Structure 1
Amino acid sequence: MRQVTPLTDGWILRHPDGTGAELPASVPGCVHTDLLAAGLIPDPFLGRNEAEVAWVGRRDWTYETDLPAGTGAHEQTDLVFDGLDTVAEILLDGRSLGRVRNMHRSYRFDVTGLSGRLAVRFASAYAEAEAVRGTVGERPGAYAEPYQYVRKMACSFGWDWGPTLVTAGIWRPVRLERWSTARIARVRPLVTVDGGTGRVELAVDVERTRVEAPLTVEAAVGGVRARAEIDGTHGTVRVEVPGARLWWPRGYGEQPLYDVELTLLHGEEALDVWRRRIGFRTLELDTSADAHGTGFTLVVNGERLFARGVNWIPDDVFPSRITRERYRRRLEQAAGAGVDLVRVWGGGIYESEDFYDACDELGLLVWQDFPFACAAYPEEQPLRGEVEAEARENVVRLMPHPSLVLWNGNNENLWGFRDWDWEPGLAGDSWGEGYYLGVLPRVVAESDPTRPYTAGSPWSGSWRHHPNDPAHGTHHSWEVWNRTDYADYRLAVPRFVAEFGWQAPPAYATLRRALPGEELAPDSPGMLHHQKADDGNGKLERGLARHFALPDGDFDRWHYLTQVNQARAVAAGIEHWRSHWPVCAGTVVWQLNDCWPVTSWAAIDGDGREKPLYHELRRLYADRLLTVRADGDGPVVAAVNQAAEDWHGSLRLRRMSVDGTVIGEAALVLAAGARTVAEVKVPPELIPVGPAEFLVADAWEPSRPDEAGTGGALRALHFPAPDRDIPYPRPEFEVALVPDGITVTARTLVRDLLLQADRLDPEARADRGLVTLLPGEEVTIGVRGWKTPDPETARRALYCVEPTR
């Protein structure tokens, strides 16, 4: 049987200062984390330390350890690296075993009979990128850093939400594998289901030391076993599982997973074993043309889905620090917000098995980008061969996961070619089209024909339409954030919104940790350093000014209002687009998470704290959503029902004044079939007139109790004027402590009340975000991690919209 020995201990990192100084090194890890552990660099996440450590990415570094001598009677010993970041030479006692230049691949070297001093010499990724650029010529990109010339996590070089921390190191596990006769080199599982029978076809490649040895493989799935012979170095074994239970996205059913075990045999001697988990489900991407353009609808097990998605970036700029537990925690947060699709964005990495395992278990669909983002990528060597090799390896590596439902060729590069002035400057030079429309779809078709492939995001399906045409395929909506008001999300109904979002700063406690000792202001030095977007603060300010009077010198008020604006902006888009299902078939919010403490579009900040947007997503992505849509001939209440059951209940409409007076009301019948949207036109006499009036829509379904146990209730509010024009009363409310939280009772209209729990204690968390109360209403906010509860402290941590005059 193959014997595996992890190589995790005894590594050192040689400092390139000419003295030969050495430091203890962690493997897996990277140079930055080793230097941090040794106290030789400051934490780049704090203050403006990022600039102080820029030199690290421009140096060469060497990792060393002793490679032990082989033991036992195995015929071959391989040195296996699951990930090297990025450009390195591997040497044993000074003799080169090979050179590598791709972070996204694994590597294997024959070290049979060898031992001695193992060294991995990393060259600066900058040096490699600049050398390749010198060979293939300049290519345009969204950022000045040369990330498109090296197969490395692009956001290592900085992004509009990320620091420039260009890493190097042994970022994934390394081990010795000792084996005899043969080993399993690759297993390509094709998993299908038809008529209740699950089918697993395992295409097996083996590597041999003895060509003449007869080999068989035995597969076991769900208690069913099958065998097949290996013909030379290839074989295929097929297993049928009667009565296979279907794997469903969360919210649509359960997620049964089946263990697969494939054993390589020489006679009855087990030589090697491959184990994974799979799920049975059918999958289709419907891109058929219709009266509205070209659709983009995921269909799982015959069920057409409105995808409730978030974009995922690497959860740490040093990805070797992301543990299995951290992946699980972050993805559980996503599931807790009602998310059912996670898009792994193309400026990051193919994530570890821990990420996809968690998605399999939680029922989170995965849209996987190939790692290309926001640049023209050369197609010449040495890059072309690396791209195909990494694609072939990772497609097969991730195939077992039922959560994986889509391969996507790139992020914004087809759009960039057409709209960002790339085409004239390229003058016919390669820019990546051959990857997205040639190499990558060929690799997916040959290796993983069970999953759909799309050439890019955004992409209209062909060059016959503009790449970002909202009527065709996927659409990125960034004009709104960059140039207009979030109300403009309501001007169009794209077929699938794969990116859109609005910025806000991180939680207050996150800022206090990241900017120690700084007097916080929107334009204080640390705040500006942790704002990476082009004119980010200007866009935040202009976005606020369209709705609120700008807080003059009051950082706490600015912080609260920018959080409110972020949640409202995303709500404006999702409510509108969900109400137009099935024309629009999905929204993927930019973004779920952050890789460090920063002002960004994230719902969860760099310290893992949930912004108000996160709690708003819980409402927006619930199976049932009530919203008021201002159509051309008057407002309409849309009841979005993504549940499997019909929604029958009552709808109460109230036209109210901000002083609490009910001007008019009506009780109507609400009926929305399963997976449909029902619309109820607001009677003319209930339409608010002027800035002092608003509409309240409450929907009840008595069979579904709400959190207070008083009968199911959903609410939508429609204020026809911006807050700056609304004559709000000065908010009055009472605060009382209750077990594990507080209760707030409103005496006036209280709009967008928010408890910033981290102001109570950095470890405290609230169970809800923004809530609007009518006079006499109350809400209980659960709080955990608050060590010394006190109502006055709670009152100081409560914020709400206040009158401007």
Structure 2
Amino acid sequence: MPEFAQHTLSTGWSFKDSEDQSSEAWLSVPTVPSVVQQDLQANGKLKDPFIGLNELSARWVNEKSWTYRNVFQKPAVPTGSSIFLAFDGLDTFANVKLDGQTILESDNMFLAHRVDVTQALEAEGEHTLEIDFDCALLRARELKKQHPEHKWVGFNGDPARLGVRKAQYHWGWDWGPVLMTAGIWKEVRLEVYSAKISDLWTEVELAADHVKAQVSAFAKVEIVGSDASHKATFTLSLHGQEIAKEVATLENTVDKVTFEVENPSLWWPNGYGDQTLYQISVSLEKGEDEIHQVSKKFGIRTAEIVQQPDKHGKSFFFRINGVDIFCGGACWIPADSLLTNIEPERYRKWIELMAVGHQVMIRVWGGGIYEDESFYQACDEVGVMVWQDFMFGCGNYPTWPEILESIEKEATYNVRRLRHHPSIVIWVGNNEDYQVQEQQGLTYNYEDKDPESWLKTDFPARYIYEHLLPNVVKTTSPSTYYHPGSPWGDGKVTTDPTVGDMHQWNVWHGTQEKYQIFDTLGGRFNSEFGMEAFPHMSTIDHFVENEADKYPQSHVLDFHNKADGHERRIATYLVENLRNATDLETYVYLTQVVQAETMMFGYRGWRRQWGDERHCGGALLWQLNDCWPTISWAIVDYFLRPKPAFYAVGRVLKPVAIGVRREHHDWSVSHAQPPKTSKYELWVSSSLQKELVGKVELRFISVQTGLEIRETIVHENVTIVPNGTTDILDGVIDHAVDDPHVLAARVWVDGEIVARDVDWPQPFKYLDLSDRGLEVTRISKTTDEQKLELSARKPVKCLVFEERDNIRVSDSAIDIVPGDDQVVTIKGLKPGDRPLKYKFLGQ
């Protein structure tokens, strides 16, 4: 019996503008997968759309249709085998022809397709595969015209996008360009077989005491012809060692075996334990021959979302293996506008950066894609939990029968594809579609529980989020929790802070509150909030070609910031808090200071609330990453260069973090009159599962002189409660007596400083931060690592090191106070490399 064989069709492709009938129209395609913009660039027909204003001169590509062609040899086909043509992803309106005959039509980018081409390839020799990609932009507009009965409303991009199952951010977003890709965006191959394993999955039941787990393994088998006499051998292994084996004979094309695992090693989020992955393998055999073999890794763990009534309303937090987890993390957009640019290693670096920053959850946002397998593998291995949106974002989606059928196939395919990943702990129906419903006054009666009636309203998408998708998850991945939308809470308004998750945009958007009060604006789980900042100068140098354009309000820089009103909003937060700058390098740095402070104020307060009956269950900032070199809310830019906010968040999310804060005095409301007194509070947050005993110190240090203006407060033998907040003390500052001063807090455990925090008088613009007496001294050096000691005579705010590719700084955006020298480790600097530059506030 012949083995399963596959032949990848990655080379030998050419492409052309579908309307161009000339013989010279065909251009070569370097490799598939690809999208048309990449192939045009490779042929010198398109400038890099990420540079300067080139996106505008690339817009013509968006309104074209494209044809791809491959002439290939028929593979060897053993007796009893068939040939299938497999497409893992076609973007988006694709008509596939084999030797001139249409064999497949697709209108959904998120689906894979397999076509039996055995008869079509009967003739030996060459065959021609041709794929016409119709223009998604124009097709979307046609569909919108055909359905005037639907209310086409939403945020961002052309509302016609709502009728097309294509990554929604391709229509342009408030952080990304309008680049309407088309092409073979995932692998295409020929498969030759008589039988194959078409799916492999597990269902895991973990005993409450964790001493035993039952692992049920399922294999779906596809057999060509009538001979069904196969057997399947399942093997369970851990760290490469086989721990159990079972043989099953085929019944109804699905094989099932059950393994009992004693004392299982559990999968834990980063910082809570090991990321143990078991492997399940299945071998399909006919007689003595192995025909096909498939393996997948999975984790043994439980994942619950705890929603219980309490004094704050109704909780919303994650419990993994019985342990409550404060989900500090970030939201994820696609890492490139041209998706086929993203290598698995790039995904890995993003997720590893999250772990370095003590982040434990990533939210895959609903306007992008169901991510590549390598993304989820990295999350599994690094221990980053995934909040996975379905691909609906910021709109009122239509529900004609054909699109509902397509959506159901899309959802089923992707949940099946991803269900073995232990990192995926929740599936969520959409991003902000319930907010569109509220803002547009669309019909939503939570008490009406009849799905068919929802289809007849002007908000028919409720049928998708509250009927179709939950049914798919229940059927396909029954142990994974489903949540109808983000934000959403039991049918209440999406701004209700007592229930569900919320997107808090009243800093930056909305009422544009002071960032210093961010923590007072949160809810039970804050799944979006953010503040913009410029990327580092090296990234700006990449996309700004002319030196004359390197000033803060240049045309090119404004073009690379897609957020509505960004000029006013950046200016507002800068002028309220910092002294203005006209040179670009300082201006860039000041925007980064604002972003770092904003994120710190939000995370620090929300994490403190975790200790108050889980008042806040988690905080996922908008956003971790960028899809092109740009100015946005990202805390790490397109080139994986962390902004200062990345480090500020990382410090607040450390396993043990100390917080000190004086009460907010709104200087703009009080006409800049200083307060007479200010209350302050000091606390320690811990995510560790064991009680600690530590020493806590609070110092009062003059901003002007660097001298201590009051006696240091020291608390010895402080009991730090596990997985919660320990309030240490509160007090009052008398501004008539004391200079403007910082509150500098430290906590020691086992004789080692484990966390620091510094609270500053606000706003920074009123402070003279010159002449700080900062010293940066190299205290050790090896071939690829050096240590720098940082000291100062007066308090230093936000010391930021230059970000250079392949060089990692252990900490940045650091506050330094006299008498508390800090050490930073720099890895990757080679002998002869120039030292990293740095900036600090008031430099």
TM-score range normalised by the length of the shorter chain: over 0.9
Q: Does 1:524 align with 2:554?
A: yes
Q: 1:584 to 1:688 in 2, by over 3 A?
A: farther
Is residue 382 of structure 2 the alignment partner of residue 335 of structure 1? no
Cα-to-partner distance string for 1:504-556 (whole Å, 9 max, x where unaligned): 011100000111224312210110110000111211110112211222x2222
Out of 773, 788, 799, the position equivalent to 1:732 is 773
- 1:139: which partner in 2? 152
Distance 1:691 1:217 in 2: 77
Q: How does 1:252-401 map to 2 (within 5 A)?
A: 252-401=272-421
Secondary structure in 2 aligned to 1:481? coil
**1:83-122 equivalence runs, <5 A:** 83-115=89-121, 116-122=127-133
User: Do the aligned residues in 1 keep the contact of 2:635 with 2:643 (CA within 8 Å)?
Assistant: yes
1:776 shift after superposition: 5.3
Aligned partner of 1:590 among 597, 604, 622: 622
| Letter matched to residue 770 of structure 1 | A
For 1:83, give the aligned amino acid.
G
Partner Cα separation in structure 2 for residue 121 and residue 44 of structure 1 = 24
Distance 1:246 1:688, change over 3 A: farther
Residue correspondence of structure 1 range 159-558 to structure 2 within 5 A:
159-180=173-194, 182-194=195-207, 195-222=210-237, 223-422=243-442, 428-460=457-489, 462-463=490-491, 465-482=492-509, 483-519=512-548, 520-551=550-581, 553-558=582-587
The aligned residue for residue 756 of structure 2 is 715
CA distance in 2, matches of 1:389, 1:183: 21
Pairwise CA distance, 1:245: 1.1
Q: Which runs of 5+ in 1 are unaligned?
A: 704-710
1:756 paired with 2:776, answer no
Deviations along 1:623-664, whole A, 9 cap, x unmatched? 111112446993211200111332311112222221222121
Whichever residue aligns with residue 546 of structure 1, its letter is: E
* Partner-residue secondary structure (3-state), 2:568: helix
TM-score (norm 2): 0.89
Counterpart of 1:19 in structure 2 is 22
- Relative distance call for 1:766 and 1:188 in structure 2 (3 A) is closer
Q: Report the residue type matching 2:233 in the other structure.
A: E
CA distance in structure 2 between the partners assigned to 1:51 and 1:406 by the alignment: 38
Name the counterpart of 1:641: 686
Rounded to whole Å, the distance in 2 between the matches of 1:697 and 1:776 is 12
Shift of 1:189: 2.5
What corresponds to 1:668 in structure 2? 715
* Cα distance in structure 1, aligned partners of 2:515 and 2:398: 36
- SS of the residue 2:507 aligns to: helix
SS in 2 for 1:126: helix
Verify the 8 A CA contact 1:563 1:612 in the aligned structure 2. Answer: yes
User: RMSD between aligned alpha carbons?
Assistant: 2.3
Q: 1:657 aligns with which of 698, 702, 716?
A: 702
Please, which of 54, 58, 65 is the counterpart of residue 53 of structure 1?
Answer: 58
Any idea what SS the aligned residue of 1:732 has? coil
Secondary structure, aligned partner of 2:61 = helix
- CA pair 790-166 structure 1, distance change in 2 beyond 3 A: closer
Which amino acid is 1:643 matched to? Answer: L
CA deviations 1:464-510 (Å, max 9, x no partner) are x2123111010111011212221231324411111111110111000
Q: State the 1:294 CA deviation.
A: 1.4
Relative to structure 1, the CA distance from residue 100 to residue 126 in structure 2 (aligned partners, 3 Å threshold; closer, same or farther) is same
Structure 2, unaligned runs of 5 or more: 122-126, 238-242, 445-454, 665-677
CA distance in 2, matches of 1:642, 1:689: 38
8 Å contact from structure 1 (residues 77, 178) kept in 2: yes
Q: 2-side partners of 1:763 and 1:299: how far apart?
A: 36
Conserved in 1, the CA contact under 8 Å of 2:442 and 2:458? no
* TM-score, normalisation: structure 1: 0.93
Structure 1 residue 266, shift from structure 2 partner: 3.6
Q: Report how far residue 742 of structure 1 moved.
A: 4.7
- In structure 2, what is the equivalent of residue 802 of structure 1? 842
Q: What is the CA-CA distance between 1:744 and the residue it aligns to? A: 4.2
Residue 76 (1) aligns with residue 82 (2): yes
Q: Distance in 2 between matches of 1:368 and 1:38?
A: 37
Deviation at residue 184 of structure 1 after TM alignment: 2.4
| Paired letter, 1:67 | F
Contact residue 89 and residue 187 of structure 2 kept, 8 A:
yes
- Contact conserved, 2:157 with 2:173, CA < 8 A, in 1? no
What corresponds to 1:708 in structure 2?
none
Partner of 2:669: none
Query: Cα gap change, 1:243/1:764 in structure 2, threshold over 3 Å: closer, same or farther?
Result: closer
> What is the aligned counterpart of 2:818 among 769, 775, 788?
775
Residue number in structure 2 paired with 1:65? 70
Tell whether the 8 Å contact from 2:332 to 2:364 is kept in structure 1 after alignment: yes
1:55 positional shift: 1.1
- In the TM superposition, residue 379 of structure 1 has moved relative to its aligned partner by 1.1
**1:383-429: per-residue Cα shift (whole Å, max 9, x none)?**
111110010011111111111111111111112211355559x9933
Once the two structures are overlaid, the 10-residue window that deviates more, 262-271 or 10-19, is 262-271
Letter of the structure 2 residue corresponding to residue 616 of structure 1:
A
Q: What is the distance in 2 between the residues matched to 1:784 and 1:174?
A: 40
Give, in whole Å, the separation in 2 of the partners of 1:663 and 1:573.
29
Secondary structure in 2 matching 1:559: helix
CA contact (8 A) 2:86 2:115 kept: yes
* d(CA) in 1 for partners of 2:732, 2:65: 72
The sequence identity of aligned pairs, in percent, is 32
Counterpart of 1:681? 729
Q: Decide whether aligned partners of structure 1 residues 92 and 143 sit closer, same or farther in structure 2, where only a CA change above 3 A counts.
A: same
The CA distance in 1 between the partners of 2:190 and 2:66, in whole Å, is 23
Q: 723-732 vs 559-568, which deviates more?
A: 723-732
Q: Secondary structure at the match of 1:663?
A: coil
For residues 677 and 726 of structure 1, the distance between their equivalents in structure 2, rounded to whole angstroms, comes to 32
Q: Partner letter of residue 223 of structure 2?
A: R
Deviations 1:225-277 (A, max 9, x none): 22333333334332332332111111111111111111233444433322101
1:192–1:200: 8 Å Cα contact kept in structure 2? yes
* Equivalent position SS for 1:348: coil
Q: Aligned partner of 1:373: which letter?
A: G
Cα shift at 1:158:
1.1
* Contact 1:737-1:790 within 8 A present in 2 as well: no
One-letter code of the match for 2:154? G
Query: How many Å separate the matches in 1 of 2:302 and 2:552?
Result: 49
- Contact map agreement 2:442 2:459 (CA 8 A) in 1: no
Q: Distance in 2 between matches of 1:481 and 1:377?
A: 27
Secondary structure, counterpart of 2:457 in structure 1 = coil
Corresponding residue for 1:603?
635
Distance in 2 between residues matched to 1:209 and 1:798, nearest whole Å: 65
Q: Larger deviation: 332-341 or 271-280?
A: 271-280
* Cα drift, residue 217 of structure 1: 2.6
